[in-house]
Amino acid sequence: MRVILTGGSGLIGRAVAAELAAAGHEPIVLSRDPAKVPDLPPGVRAERWDGKTAAGWGGLFDRESAVVHLAGEPIADGRWTAERKRRILSSRVESSAAVVAAISAAAVKPRVLLQASGIGYYGDTGDREVEESDPPGDDFLARTCVAWEGATAAVEALGVRRAVLRTGVVLAREGGALPRMLLPFRLGVGGPLGDGRQWFPWIHMADEVGAIRFLLEHADAAGPFNLCAPNPVRNADFARALGRALYRPSFLPTPAFALRLALGELAQALLTGQRAFPRHLTAQGYAFRFPVLAGALADLVA
Convert the pLDDT of each residue in 98-107 to its tens digit. Answer: 999 999 999 8
Structural domains in the chain (count) = 1
SS (H, E, C) 2-36: EEEEECCCCHHHHHHHHHHHHCCCEEEEEECCHHH
**Residue 248 covered by a domain:** no
Give me the pLDDT at residue 265, please. Answer: 92
List, as one string, the DSSP characters of the chain.
-EEEEETTTSHHHHHHHHHHHHTT-EEEEEES-GGG--SPPTT-EEEE--SSS-TTTGGG--TTEEEEE-----SSSS---HHHHHHHHHHHHHHHHHHHHHHHH-SS--SEEEEEEEGGGG---TTSEE-TTSPP--SHHHHHHHHHHHTTGGGGGGT-EEEEEEE-EEE-SSSSHHHHHHHHHHTT----BTTS-SEE-EEEHHHHHHHHHHHHH-TT--EEEEES-SS-EEHHHHHHHHHHHHT------B-HHHHHHHHTTHHHHHH---EE--HHHHHHT---S--SHHHHHHHHH-
Give me the pLDDT at residue 64, please. Answer: 85
**Residue 135 covered by a domain:** yes
**Residue 184 covered by a domain:** no
Give me the pLDDT at residue 34, please. Answer: 79
Give me the pLDDT at residue 77, please. Answer: 84
Give me the pLDDT at residue 150, please. Answer: 97
**Residue 246 covered by a domain:** no
Asked whether the beta carbons of 132 and 223 are under 8 A apart, the reply is yes
**Residue 106 covered by a domain:** yes
**Residue 36 covered by a domain:** yes
Cα–Cα distance list, 100 to 86, 138, 216 (Å) = 21, 26, 18
Give the whole-number percent of the chain exceeding pLDDT 90. 85
**Residue 163 covered by a domain:** yes
CATH number at residue 51: 3.40.50.720
Q: What is the mean pLDDT of the chain?
A: 94
Q: Which residues of the chain have pLDDT under 70?
A: none
Domain that holds residue 70: 2-169+204-230+276-289
Could you read off the pLDDT of 74-114 as tens digits, one per residue?
A: 998 888 999 999 999 999 999 999 999 999 999 899 999 99
**Residue 260 covered by a domain:** no
What is this structure's pTM?
0.95
Exposure b/e, 12-37, CB count within 10 A at least 16 = b: bbbbbbbbbbeeebbbbbbbeebeeb
CB atoms within 10 A of CB 131: 14
Residue type at 71 in one-letter notation: A
